[in-house]
Amino acid sequence: MIKIENLTKIYSRKQGPALDSLSLEIRDGEILGFVGLNGAGKTTTIRISSGVTLPTGGDVYIDGKSVTEEKPETSRNLGWIPEFPNYETNAKPVPLMKYFAGYYGLQGKEAEDTITNLLKEVGLWEYRNMKLRNYSQGMKKRFSLAESLLGDPGNLMFDETLNGLDPEGVQFVRELILSQKQKGKAILLSSHILSEIEAISDRVAIIHRGKLLKVLTREELRNLGLERINIEIDNVDKGAMGILDRYGQVERTDGKILLSSLKIGRDRYPEIVSELVESGYRVRRFEPFGESLEEFFFKTIGEER
């Protein structure tokens, strides 16, 4: 479990805080989508959690241990996959991973077996004799995935890992993330590809200018923002439109009706259907729906601006 408490980071006094008392919790077996504009503070949050950057205030707890106080223990249980993985240019994957493995107490055959399995898992085994400088960006990301899983950490942070990957790569990472989730790991997934976030996240945290604006649950994700209803009725006429007009704003296009700006709550939706039926209209479709995450995100950000 990852627990972020009142995390604050000020890089320069001339600028505002990169993070402003951010608090967040990622539970075991959960994927938390982490979204925000560039400069919102996503990467800073992840870097602080990884122990690479020091916080100005607050702390991050990995499985109950403080990043600022017990960094080696927290790093042992946290894998960070950065947006732009950066390694020694002349290193080859296996020797470098053996070096990294040493930090997790993996030695000898145990280390070799682990490295072999991880490189095979990410599809780099056949490229193990190439120097990392000759790897493509996608291969570097795959290598980053492999080396971040050394020591089998219970918590993972993906920072824009999907960026720059081809569709196959995106699918591979998605499946890897889901398989790690099934192992009960706490996963923070930062990405600009909101459709991916929406598809695999259990919750989504929206961050803007260092502040947490909202955390959406899976249920809320399905019904984001102000709801609308798609309605299809046989023989639509002014009477039907008049009925619907009392419940919200009606738009009609190509025989389909969109009811928005609803004046009643979800629990009273059956009233609309009942009144239409009682008035002799045949309702073929009545489908409430919310906004997409992208729409919701920009609306939320816009309100904050």
Partner 1 sequence: MRPVFYEIKRSITSKFSIVIIIAIIGLSALVSYEVDASSISGTSSASVSDISGYYIHGGNVTVVTFLYNEHGDPYTGSVPTLIANGTNYTGKEVSPGIYQFTITMKQPLVTFYVNYTINKFGFRSVEQSSIVTVNSRSPYSGYEVVGGLQNPRNSSSLGALIFYVGPNGNTSPPATIYLGHYSPGSPPLDVIKDHIAEYNYSGFTAVALFPSLNASSLEKINAVMIVQNNVSFGPYFVGTMSVFTPLTTSSIASNIFSTVGAILTLFIPLLAIFMGYLTYGKDRVTGVLESVIKRPITKGGLIRSRFLSNSVVIVSSIVVAVAVSDIIFHRYNNVYIPISLFLYIAWAYSIMGVSFLAISYLFSHVLRSLGALLGLLIGIFIVFDLFWSVLFDVVASALSLSSTSAAYVSTYVLFDYSSPAGYASLIQLFFTEKLGSIFSAGQSINPAAFGVTPLLIVIAGILWVAVPFTIAHILASKRD
Rounded distance, CA 42 to CA 46, Å?
A: 6
Consecutive H or E run containing 44: helix 42-50
Indicate the residue type of 139. Answer: M
Q: Which of 61, 100, 281, 296 binds partner 1 (CB under 8 A)?
A: 100
Per CB under 8 A, contacts with partner 1 among 235-294 are: none
Closer residue to partner 1 in complex, CB, 99/289: 99
Residues in the chain, how many? 305
101 CB burial (10 A radius; 0-12, 13-18, 19+): buried
Q: Of 69-77, 164-172, 199-207, 265-273, which part binds partner 1 (CB under 8 A)?
A: 69-77
Q: Provide, rounded to whole angstroms, the least separation between the CB of residue 49 and partner 1.
A: 10
Indicate the residue type of 27. Answer: R
Q: Give yes or no for residue 83 binding partner 1 (CB under 8 A).
A: no
CB 297 within 8 A of CB 194: yes
Per CB under 8 A, contacts with partner 1 among 120-179 are: 147, 151
Q: Provide, rounded to whole angstroms, the least separation between the CB of residue 138 and partner 1.
A: 17
Q: Which two tokens stand for residue 12?
A: 């320069």
Q: If binding means CB under 8 A, how many residues of this protein chain bind partner 1?
A: 31
Q: Of 88-96, 117-125, 164-172, 283-291, which part binds partner 1 (CB under 8 A)?
A: 88-96
Consecutive H or E run containing 158: strand 155-159
Q: Which of 54, 199, 226, 277 binds partner 1 (CB under 8 A)?
A: 54
CB 95 within 8 A of CB 87: no
Q: Which residues bind partner 1 (CB under 8 A)?
A: 50-54, 71-73, 75-76, 78, 80, 82, 84-88, 90, 95, 98-104, 107, 111, 147, 151
